[in-house]
Structure 1
Amino acid sequence: MYVKQKISLLLFLSSLVTACGQIGSRAAAYPEPKLYRLQPGELVLAASEADIPSIQAEDNYFVQVERADLEDTDLVVGLFIGGESRAYPVRLLSLHEVVNDRIGEKAIAVTWCPLCYSPVVYDRIVDGQELSFRASGYLLHNNLVLVDHPTDTLWSQLLGQGIRGALRGSVLKVIPSTVTTWEIWRENYPDSRVLSAERIGYEGDLPDPYGGYFSSGAAGLGGAGEIDPRLPAKTLILGLVSGEDIKAYPVDLIREQRIIVDQVGDFTFSIIWDEKQGIGRTFLGDISQDLPEKGMIDFNSLTPVPAQLVYWFAWTGFYPESDLYRSR
């Protein structure tokens, strides 16, 4: 059976308007992301492209909430675009890792790296050209490497950057998404449409290619090499990059403290635990004094900032110099 994750390990990927690690233009002007330079031996071939086929979503692949064959505790990646909400079950994403979809006029790629526990949704338009993505079979620091059609450029899922090929150095635009349980998503978006395993062609229980990986001590494929000892390898963190400064926030601490106000680089950020949806949200500035004592927070009035949900070992694989937030 699919391994369920604790609700305490759920985190919202806030409204990201550029690549992970870059503040959006509404917040501040930042330099372009650094060009990632592949080193010899960094790319590891873990599977063939045929082993992990992407899903080319069609309208009839989705069903209404009441027809979804999901348990309350199943995880979904949820989107709300142009008045339409959709949910993509993580147990399906673990088998395919990429869903190329279109919501209204927006061409998107829903990506999921099971080894790193990193969901990211990208806009598929790059320099006016529509791309489609699939898993390349390669891993970079144990993280999913995508390949696009038609240019065959390789892309780091975590960085959202072309790392080899014609579009090397190009950056994908991140689309706001949420990771939560099916129960919470259904309650908040009862009109949502859900990607259906049956409509894709599956019968019966879905295979589980990762077995007990999520609940085991194993980190990555064949081990993650030297792991930063400051946290257990598979601690879920929220990662922020502000210019040259990088910091990680353990999800359990966010849930425990409810609100964290911290400075990373030249900017102050507020990370808020949304009790209603069981998710964390990150915003620009110190908003602790503006929070209502009772009632709902108007999140739409705040400025979201880039964040990345991921296992600690994967984050420090890309950012070994990352600072770590600790309880105060």
Structure 2
Amino acid sequence: MAKPALPTAILFLVVSFAWADPGRWETEWPKTDFSNTTVGNWSEIISGGPPKDGIPAVSDPAFIPVSEETRIEAREPVIALEIDGALARAYPLRYLTWHEIVNDEVGDLPVAVTYCPLCNSGIVFDRRTEHGVLEFGVSGKLRHSDMIMFDRQTESWWQQAIGTAIAGELTGIELRALPAWMESWDSFRARHPDGLVMDEPDFRRSYGRNPYRQYDSSTKPFLFSGDPPPHGVPALARVVRVGERAWPLARVRQAGSITEAGLTIEWREGMASALDTARIADGRDVGEVRVRDASGQDVVHDLMFAFAFHAFWPEGQWMLGN
């Protein structure tokens, strides 16, 4: 069993900013070519506190039938993934909050299910690249408060929010994001009674507890020093990001359904915030979102915080409806 490590959230109390310096990383990252990078200002990258693999990614996770799961409560959020030819899978945030990356294979498709609690960014990537199939871990570094992943094959660094390598041998390579979405456990099991759900990992963690208590009601993101979002949008307001566009969740929630820019975005109640109360199941209802194109197909999107959208897409389009 892996040795327990402090989750990033505990660093609210115990860590101070540790500004990046590639020269100081050579011992920990001897395989990473920091001269090959798209990062223009290394001071954007800081330590989140845990070292490399201090937050342990999960590889080859175990799954159980939906009908056998008794620990997850109805309103708890999961990341739902539906791949043609394979049973639908649910990846509960009660596990991803503590591990942030799950390396899995669905049918013949190798995927990385990722979740950055500090940005509320949950994205599923295809792990296949022109350089082979990659396996990802958590570096312990942050940029604009977003997790920096690394691949175990070359130890290149990857920005989770954009799915792109930002330092190392594979700099500039982009991962293909797959349609996936956050929804309540109740919604997933109702649609997929014969589906699969990720089983509890074999680590000593307080699964079902939220180590980021009341984070998404804060006014300032943790370990973030960038500009606030424009238009008076609160930094920790959720937005529905599709490409370089962002719809404030508050607008979608009020409308129930919005059709514009060739998309239909629907909101419905029933999913708890994973970043609110101490027990994830008790979190306030932030609802769940589905995004489809004009043909009814699910579209790649992210339900991230507004500050992160603005940090990574500073010229992005804000879909405010006015």
- When normalised by structure 1's length, the TM-score is 0.74
Instruction: Tell me the residue number matched to 2:263.
Output: 270
SS in 2 for 1:49: coil
Instruction: Tell me the residue number matched to 2:312.
Output: 318
Instruction: Tell me the residue number matched to 2:187.
Output: 184
Instruction: Tell me the residue number matched to 1:71.
Output: 73
- Kindly indicate whether the alpha-carbon contact (under 8 Å) linking 1:110 and 1:121 is maintained by their aligned counterparts in 2: yes
Aligned length: 266
What does residue range 172-251 of structure 1 map to in structure 2 within 5 Å?
Answer: 172-197=175-200, 200-202=202-204, 206=208, 208-221=210-223, 223-229=224-230, 230-241=232-243, 246-251=244-249
SS in 2 for 1:51: coil
SS in 1 for 2:177: coil
Greater alpha carbon shift after TM alignment, 101-110 vs 64-73: 64-73
What's the offset of the Cα at 1:163?
0.5
Instruction: Tell me the residue number matched to 2:255.
Output: 257
- Kindly indicate whether the alpha-carbon contact (under 8 Å) linking 1:76 and 1:179 is maintained by their aligned counterparts in 2: yes
Instruction: Tell me the residue number matched to 2:104.
Output: 101
In structure 1, list runs of 5 or more residues that go unmatched: 1-34, 263-267, 288-300
What's the offset of the Cα at 1:271?
2.5
Residues 282, 77 of structure 1: alpha-carbon distance in 2 compared, 3 angstrom cutoff: closer
What's the offset of the Cα at 1:205?
5.2
- Structure 1 CA distance, aligned partners of 2:53 and 2:292? 40
- Structure 2 CA distance, aligned partners of 1:306 and 1:66? 28
What's the offset of the Cα at 1:320?
2.2
What's the offset of the Cα at 1:91?
1.6
Amino acid at match of 1:148: D
**Which of residues 275, 289, 297 is equivalent to 1:280?**
289
Q: Indicate the RMSD between aligned Cα atoms, in angstroms.
A: 2.4
Amino acid at match of 1:272: I
What does residue range 23-172 of structure 1 map to in structure 2 within 5 Å?
Answer: 36-46=38-48, 47-58=50-61, 61-68=62-69, 69-81=71-83, 82-127=85-130, 129-172=132-175
- Structure 1 CA distance, aligned partners of 2:229 and 2:205? 42
- Structure 2 CA distance, aligned partners of 1:57 and 1:84? 16
Residues 123, 203 of structure 1: alpha-carbon distance in 2 compared, 3 angstrom cutoff: closer
Instruction: Tell me the residue number matched to 1:21.
Output: none
- Structure 1 CA distance, aligned partners of 2:299 and 2:100? 25
- Kindly indicate whether the alpha-carbon contact (under 8 Å) linking 1:269 and 1:282 is maintained by their aligned counterparts in 2: no
CA deviations on 1:34-54 (whole Å, 9 max, x unpaired) are x95442311112121232010
Amino acid at match of 2:106: I
% same residue: 30
Residues 56, 192 of structure 1: alpha-carbon distance in 2 compared, 3 angstrom cutoff: same
Amino acid at match of 1:252: A
- Kindly indicate whether the alpha-carbon contact (under 8 Å) linking 1:116 and 1:220 is maintained by their aligned counterparts in 2: no
SS in 2 for 1:180: strand
Higher relative contact order (CA 8 A, sep 6+): 1
- Structure 2 CA distance, aligned partners of 1:66 and 1:240? 33
What's the offset of the Cα at 1:157?
0.5
Amino acid at match of 2:315: E
- Structure 1 CA distance, aligned partners of 2:192 and 2:124? 19
- Structure 2 CA distance, aligned partners of 1:317 and 1:149? 27
